[in-house]
Structure 1
Amino acid sequence: MYDLLVVGAGPYGLSIASHAAAAGLNLRVLGRPMASWRDHMPRGMFLKSEPWASNLADPGGRWRLDTYCATQGLTARHADPIPVTTFAAYGLWFAHHAVPRVDERMVSRLTARPAGFEVVTEDGEVLRARTVALAVGVMPFVEVPSPLRGLHPALISHSSHHSDLERFRGRDVTVIGGGQAALETAALLAEQGTRVRVLARADGLSWNDVPPPWQRPWWQSARAPHSGLGCGWRNWFYAERPGLFRHLPEPTRARITATALGPAGAWWVRDRVEQAVEVLLDREVASARAVTGGVRLETVSRTGERYSLETGHVIAATGFRPTLNRLGLLSEELRGSLATAVDGSPAVGRDFESSHPGLFMGGLVTASAFGPAMRFVHGATFTATTLVRGVCRRLRTTPPVGRIPAAVGRGRAEAVRADH
């Protein structure tokens, strides 16, 4: 029986695994490493987060993004966006050096047992563990507006369903949404020769400003400090103090999580959109139906005006909704036993432990508890440190000093020695 099973091998899962290995826990990591970044983002996309805020977390801080870039002859600079393909490759490099061997099988079922948990892999193997950390990323939580859900998949897709937009070359596509995913997807489509429009319910698009220089006069830094989520004291609080954020009243946390850092495009994609993409504002989809050649969308404005348009395909860049009922890998009994927050996400305590002892959560699904940082890679450091401490507490162990786990991949042993 394992001490810990980590389900998911994205930035959060890999970071948790690195800390757990350094703590001497007997663990297993399940999932395709960096799957969302490798399989669900089109070529040509860039990270919106700053390079220095996009590190996966190992206890010694050795396996940073800038270190990886240096090994590839690349530079990770402030205000210089990193290609998603580079970030995905960095995650694989991190997994190789900082994490025990990853079992790339997916988990089909997680069930609670008297002595811990039982996991069934996609090919039927049963694994058992005293504790489990769920770090399943965003893909279970894809959100599509209800008027579009009845359409055939040939007519409607989510922005996260595409690793390649080539199939839309020369076609007519409508992208729904006003955030980075919508705007960057639209820009990439336009640049490959697709006739594309963006349909957004807001009455204007929001654009992030070019970040101020890293080195600034002290009074500018004091007024608006840099943080992993952008400049300003409010963003600094969300980014750097998620443990304090958890102590806010639950309604306040829910409101901030739903509204902070709302839909906006990165500064470096603005010209690409404004010069090449039709933008239809103040329009929300009221209904949709299949017609010859595509989809007919009926939209309505906030004043009640109605507009119709026909398009060949709809891409919903409408985000993710991390509710408990979408965690289909949990057994019905386990899922039904878990407490939820006001937004329907699983309730977690100070160590990211759910209401079921020994079941921990990491990533987007914990944003209502720990704030907007959990929507970004930047939150992985706090999560990994805090969650593994909670696992050790649950197991009634303390992290052994100087122990080098035998299963750790090449490079991890040297890191552990350096840390001690």
Structure 2
Amino acid sequence: MYDLLVVGAGPYGLSIASHAAGAGLDVRVFGRPMASWRDHMPRGMFLKSEPWASNLSDPRRRYGLAAYCERNGMRARHGEPVSVETFASYGLWFARHAVPDVDERMVASVGACPGGFEVVTDDGQAVRGRTVALAVGVMPFVEIPSALHGLGPEHVTHSSHHRDLDRFRDRDVTVIGGGQAALETAALLAEQGTRVRVLARSHRLSWNTVPPEWKRPWWQSARAPHSGLGCGWRNWFYAEVPGGFRRLPEATRARISASALGPAGAWWVRDRVESRVEVLLDHEVATASVTSGRVRLATVGSIGGGPDFETDHVIAATGFRATGARLGLLAPEVRASLAVNAADEPYASTGFESSYPGLFLAGLVTAASFGPAMRFVQGASFTAERLVRGVRRSLRHGPAGSAVPAPAGERGRRSPLGAVKH
């Protein structure tokens, strides 16, 4: 029986595995390394985060993005965005050098067994571990507006469903959303000859500005320090002090995790959108139907009805919502025991342990506990260090299954399956 089974081989899963191996734990990692970055982002996209805030984490800090770029004749410089292709290749390099062998099979289910957990792979093999870390990324949490739910994938997809956009050449596409995914997807579509429009609920598009120079006068740095989530003391707190964020009242954490660092486009995509893409602001889809093979959208604005129009395809760049109900690979009895907040977001302890003993969480699903940094690669280092400490503490205190009380603010909550938390 392994000490730790890591489910997921993206930036968080690989970082956790590297720290676990460095701590002497017997660890096994499942998943295709960097799969989301390799399979679910179109060619030509760039990371929004700075290169120095895009490192996977190993205990000796030997395998950062800058080290990879230097070894391969590239550069990772402040203010110069890194391509998705470069970042994915970096992650594969990190996996080869800083992580025990990765089992590239996908995990079908995670359930409890005597002394720990049983992970079943997609080919039916069962592997047991005393603890489990779920680092499943964002794909289980895709969010598509309810007005589009009745349409099939031939007419509606999520922005994360596309490795390339070639199928939409010379067609008409409507992109829903006002954030980076929507705006960069729209720019790429327009640049390949697609007729594209962006439909956004906001009254105006928000754009991030060019980051200030890394070396600045001291008074400028004191007023707005650099951080992995952007300049300013508030962003610095989110990026550098996730443990402090977790000490905030639950309602405050929930509000910030839902609203901080809201939809905005990167500075380097602005001209590409404004010069080529039709934008319809202050509107959202009210109803959607298929007529003669095309999607007919009826829209509504804040002051009344909006235009109706037809399009060949809708891409919903509407983000992700990490809820307990969407952790579908967990066995029902495990999922039903998770303590959640009012938005159905699972609770995570200071060591990233869920309310189910021995089950640890990482990445987006912990944003309600540790803040906006968990939505970005920036949070991987903090998570890996704290989570592995939590795993070691759990291993010392005995096998999974012993009673661990949920925090006072979470007790008595019902899970999506109706079980009362304890």
Task: Give the Å deviation of 1:291.
Answer: 1.0
**Could you tell me which residue of structure 2 aligns to residue 357 of structure 1?**
357
Q: Which amino acid aligns with 1:141?
A: F
**Could you tell me which residue of structure 1 aligns to residue 73 of structure 2?**
73
Query: What is the rounded CA distance, in whole Å, between the counterparts of 1:178 and 1:78 in structure 2?
Result: 25
Task: Give the Å deviation of 1:345.
Answer: 1.4
Correspondence list, 1:3-402, <5 A: 3-396=3-396
For structure 2, the 5+ residue unaligned runs are: 398-422
Task: Give the Å deviation of 1:346.
Answer: 1.1
Task: Give the Å deviation of 1:136.
Answer: 0.1
SS in 2 for 1:201: coil
TM-score by length of 2: 0.93
Query: What is the rounded CA distance, in whole Å, between the counterparts of 2:384 and 2:342 in structure 1?
Result: 25
Query: What is the rounded CA distance, in whole Å, between the counterparts of 1:5 and 1:335 in structure 2?
Result: 17
Q: Which amino acid aligns with 1:150?
A: G
SS in 1 for 2:164: coil
Query: What is the rounded CA distance, in whole Å, between the counterparts of 1:379 and 1:220 in structure 2?
Result: 25
Q: Which amino acid aligns with 2:32?
A: R
Task: Give the Å deviation of 1:180.
Answer: 0.1
SS in 1 for 2:117: strand
Query: What is the rounded CA distance, in whole Å, between the counterparts of 2:341 and 2:133 in structure 1?
Result: 19
Query: What is the rounded CA distance, in whole Å, between the counterparts of 1:97 and 1:306 in structure 2?
Result: 54
Amino-acid identity (%): 73
**Could you tell me which residue of structure 1 aligns to residue 401 of structure 2?**
none
Task: Give the Å deviation of 1:367.
Answer: 0.1
Query: What is the rounded CA distance, in whole Å, between the counterparts of 1:288 and 1:208 in structure 2?
Result: 32
Q: Deviations over 1:175-209 (max 9, x none)?
A: 00000000000000000000000000111000000
Q: Deviations over 1:133-172 (max 9, x none)?
A: 0000000000000010110110000000000100000000
Query: What is the rounded CA distance, in whole Å, between the counterparts of 1:298 and 1:28 in structure 2?
Result: 49
Query: What is the rounded CA distance, in whole Å, between the counterparts of 1:224 and 1:342 in structure 2?
Result: 34
Query: What is the rounded CA distance, in whole Å, between the counterparts of 2:380 and 2:239 in structure 1?
Result: 11
Task: Give the Å deviation of 1:342.
Answer: 2.3
Question: Does structure 2 retain, via aligned residues, the 8 Å contact 1:34–1:92?
Answer: yes
| Structure 1 ranges of 4+ moved more than 2 A | none
SS in 2 for 1:287: strand
SS in 2 for 1:395: helix
Q: Which amino acid aligns with 2:340?
A: T
Q: Which amino acid aligns with 1:282?
A: D
Question: Does structure 2 retain, via aligned residues, the 8 Å contact 1:32–1:105?
Answer: yes
Question: Does structure 2 retain, via aligned residues, the 8 Å contact 1:343–1:368?
Answer: no
Higher RCO (Cα < 8 Å, 6 or more apart): 1
Task: Give the Å deviation of 1:258.
Answer: 0.5
**Could you tell me which residue of structure 1 aligns to residue 408 of structure 2?**
none
Task: Give the Å deviation of 1:72.
Answer: 1.3
Q: Deviations over 1:30-79 (max 9, x none)?
A: 00100000000000000000000000000111000011011111100000
Q: Which amino acid aligns with 2:57?
A: A
Q: Deviations over 1:310-367 (max 9, x none)?
A: 1000000000000010011001111111111222111111100000110000000000
Query: What is the rounded CA distance, in whole Å, between the counterparts of 1:157 and 1:33 in structure 2?
Result: 24
SS in 2 for 1:305: strand
Task: Give the Å deviation of 1:224.
Answer: 0.1
Query: What is the rounded CA distance, in whole Å, between the counterparts of 1:389 and 1:333 in structure 2?
Result: 26
Query: What is the rounded CA distance, in whole Å, between the counterparts of 1:291 and 1:386 in structure 2?
Result: 53
Task: Give the Å deviation of 1:396.
Answer: 1.2
Q: Tell me whether 111-120 or 384-393 shows the greater mean CA deviation.
A: 111-120
Question: Does structure 2 retain, via aligned residues, the 8 Å contact 1:177–1:318?
Answer: yes
Query: What is the rounded CA distance, in whole Å, between the counterparts of 1:184 and 1:352 in structure 2?
Result: 33
TM-score by length of 1: 0.94
Query: What is the rounded CA distance, in whole Å, between the counterparts of 2:16 and 2:114 in structure 1?
Result: 24
Task: Give the Å deviation of 1:305.
Answer: 2.5
**Could you tell me which residue of structure 2 aligns to residue 403 of structure 1?**
none
Q: Deviations over 1:243-280 (max 9, x none)?
A: 00000000100000010000000000000000000000
SS in 2 for 1:337: coil
Query: What is the rounded CA distance, in whole Å, between the counterparts of 1:305 and 1:330 in structure 2?
Result: 42
RMSD after superposition: 0.7
Q: Tell me whether 388-397 or 323-332 shows the greater mean CA deviation.
A: 388-397
SS in 2 for 1:38: helix
Question: Does structure 2 retain, via aligned residues, the 8 Å contact 1:347–1:369?
Answer: yes
**Could you tell me which residue of structure 1 aligns to residue 420 of structure 2?**
none
Q: Tell me whether 388-397 or 150-159 shows the greater mean CA deviation.
A: 388-397
For structure 1, the 5+ residue unaligned runs are: 398-420
SS in 2 for 1:70: helix
